[in-house]
Amino acid sequence: MDKKIYLDNAATTMLNSEVLAEMMPYFNSIYGNASSLHSFGRDAKAAVDLARERIAKGIGCKPNEIYFTSGATEANNWILRGVANANRTRGNHIITSKIEHPSILETCADLERQGFKVTYLDVDSYGFVRIDQLLHYLSKDTILISIMAANNEIGTIQNIQAIASIANEKGIPFHTDATQALGAINLNVQEMKIDAMSLSSHKIYGPKGVGALYIRSGLLVDRFMTGGEQESGRRAGTVNTPGIVGFGKAVEICTRDIVANSKKLKSLRDYFIRQVQQKIDMVYLNGHPVQRLPNNASLSFAMVEGESILFMLDMQGIAVSTGSACSSGSLQESHVLKALNIPADLIQGTVRFSLGKMTTKEDIDQTVDVLVSVIKKLRHISPVTKAQVGRLKKGDK
């Protein structure tokens, strides 16, 4: 097979050529430090300011509410630690969910070791956060609610507006990790009453190693990095001018094209799912069938190992992922699929296909053909018993 097929766009995306073109001068021509007072610095600062404006426009906030970071991992660390430390005297309770990204869950675990209390909300079988539990666990000590906008493994899009309204009514700050949602769904922090939001550039055809944290002005959050006066003295360190320029352009493009892109991806993704389900037995879609990221198809194949599928597809030039890229190296059971109560054997047989702007119908047809033969081969050598086959065929997930 000559052409490689990349179906791992939830892990990262290819840099958009328009974005690259906009970044180029900032490597070796307009290379000043954006904090310098001379013309080299002023030119760099103007570019950073423009990127800040573009991102603010993309999410409906003011430019001075955007703080550039090295990515969403840093933004998630900042908001959790920053709110916790700034509000120590007001309360010590944080609410999040069981299906968050490790940059939220590991940071919460760290805060628990420091004496904070964290409630991890359950999700239903589609991956929607249990709103009844949110209402139940809210208390006068709650200082932050952090729920992701869309899940990176199963693609389920949360009812963020409903959660934000509850937080708002109770006067509790609401943060959302919108890393996967940016460019896929409309995000207007003003309309949606979101107080803080984490973003990343490399999931939207921008460069890697840059992202942002939106912090509503007036929200009590400690600064993250100490040092110079960059980012209003809240996140010290010379800013990554080319990265920020690229991120700004990528946000402008993805918010401009959101409707057309989502429509194209959805129809290609649904075609893929239909083809797979028609041609392969005992395969189940994870997450909500409709309220999901337009490019995500998380599928569990009975009686096969996800890793084996991944390696066999890779041998044919097709790139996919088991679980999320961050945890798939560890061969640990996905915490997200576990939270959905998916049986262990199906968790093991789960593969995430995430389409991108470059994906074509030919790519999908080719992938389905290869997948059919890979699953057939793997099932042929699978040691699973006839009894298990019978149980699975009855649709017992």
Helices (H), the chain: 17-23, 25-28, 39-59, 72-86, 102-113, 131-137, 160-170, 189-192, 241-256, 258-279, 306-315, 325-328, 335-339, 344-348, 361-381, 386-393
Minimum distance, C-beta of residue 262 to ligand PMP, in the bound complex (Å):
18
What does the alpha-carbon distance between residue 284 and residue 288 come to, in Å, rounded to a whole number?
12
Residue (202 or 357) nearer to ligand PMP, CB:
202
Residue with smaller CB distance to ligand PMP, 180 or 348: 180
Residue 320 near ligand PMP by CB under 6 A? no
334 binds ligand PMP, rule: CB under 6 A: no
Choosing from 13, 97, 119, 152, the residue that interacts with ligand PMP (CB under 6 A) is 152
Exactly one of 52, 81, 101, 352 binds ligand PMP (CB under 6 A); that residue is: 101
Q: Are 318 and 264 contacting, i.e. CB atoms less than 8 angstroms apart?
A: no
Question: 111: alpha, beta or left, given left = phi > 0 and alpha = psi -120 to 50?
Answer: alpha
Residues numbered 175 to 234 that lie near ligand PMP (CB under 6 A) are 177, 179-180, 200, 211
- Indicate the residue whose CB is closest to ligand PMP: 71
| Smallest distance, ligand PMP to C-beta of residue 101, A | 3
Q: Is 53 helix (H, G, I), strand (E, B) or coil?
A: helix
How far apart CA 31 and CA 25 sit, in angstroms, is 8
Looking at the Cβ atoms of 70 and 87, the one nearer to ligand PMP is 70
Candidates 240, 190, 232, 248; CA nearest to 16 is: 248
Question: C-beta of 82: minimal distance to ligand PMP in Å?
Answer: 16
How far is the C-alpha of 214 from the C-alpha of 72, rounded, in Å? 11
Q: What number of chain residues touch ligand PMP (CB under 6 A)?
A: 14
Of residues 200 and 350, the one with the C-beta less far from ligand PMP = 200
Residue type, 198: S
SS3 210: coil
Q: What distances in angstroms separate CA 26 from CA 20, 70, 194, one per listed residue?
A: 10, 17, 33
8 Å CB contact between 142 and 172:
yes
Tell me the residue type at 282.
M
Active site residues: 326
- Residue 146 lies near ligand PMP (rule: CB under 6 A): no
Find the shortest distance in angstroms from Cβ 282 to ligand PMP: 28
Quick note: the x/- pattern for ligand PMP over 49-78, rule CB under 6 A, is ----------------------xxx-----
Closest to ligand PMP by CB, 94 vs 282, is 94
Nearer to ligand PMP, 9 or 308 (CB): 9
Strand partners, 96: 120
- 352 lies in the site for ligand PMP, by CB under 6 A: no
Minimum Å gap between C-beta 148 and ligand PMP is 5
- Torsion, CA 350, CA 105, CA 107, CA 71, rounded to 10: 50
User: Taking the complex as a whole, how short is the minimal distance between the CB of residue 37 and ligand PMP, in angstroms?
Assistant: 31
Q: What are the residues binding ligand PMP (CB under 6 A)?
A: 71-73, 101, 103, 148, 152, 177, 179-180, 200, 211, 324, 326
